[in-house]
Structure 1
Amino acid sequence: MPKSRLVLASAEDALQLKNLAVDAFQADFEQYGSFPPHIESTAWHLQSVEAGHYYLIKYGDEVAGGILAVIKNHQEIEIKYFFITPDFQDKRIGSQVVKQLESHYPRVTCWSLVTPFKAFRNHHFYEKLGYVKVGEVQPDINEPFWLFEYQKTI
């Protein structure tokens, strides 16, 4: 079985990351009627790459997805977007990638993220990795959509 690994993304990867993200979040679009913010913008992906903490998820020689870490301070990182395309799901890539990301930032003691309230597989996945649900947010009070906030303290 190929091993997954993180590779720091470069500007040349922005379009590929956008396409992978759109593919990976297609099910969310179908369920909620929209993609996560900025996912469809190549310019946003380029800006995120230039911030320096956006990684390609490689599985063997292929790119399986991406993960964006947002540095909040010296001890806290938010996993802003984490996506694996459908062709690469259910191969234990996600667990390996999260562990690798955490090992890239050994001084970080608090990890946070949000995920849709109906993303039951995500909830199970993050809880299995030690994340705890700490809150709920309704981004638009006129929409019946909620995000669950998760946090992991090391």
Structure 2
Amino acid sequence: MKIYSIITIFTTSLSMIACGQTMKNKQKTEIQSSKKQQTMDVSKITDATVKQAIEALQAGDKNWYNFFTENPVMTDDGHTVDFKSFFSNALGKEMFLSIDRVENEGKDIYGNFKAGQWGTFPVFFKFHKNPEGKFERLDIGQSK
């Protein structure tokens, strides 16, 4: 009788472990699928440097900062803000959900943007290059 109980408990335990592993694998697959769905089409962006910068922004990659001068000017809805401070909070949490329009030779990007606690809304990012090809200014804000 004891051996039968031990075998039953052992078999039940193995079944539960297998079920738990299946659930973990399913959750992992769902997370990977969700990340793939977040990939956004950047093919509309015609300026190569802007495209690379937006790809870094989308990935939450700190390489984003390398596209800019040491102290770029930044405005948010017309108000001057500190670029590094702003993106230290936003990078990896905020991103474009879609690129709807590109203007000014690929340097002005319009699209739907997920802005963390602020929600999702249409925005513009306007990149300004210096003669060396780095961005010296970034204007962002809500678009109409």
**TM-score (normalizing by structure 1):** 0.28
Relative to its length, the structure with more helix (as a share) is 2
Q: Which has the larger radius of gyration?
A: 2
**TM-score (normalizing by structure 2):** 0.29
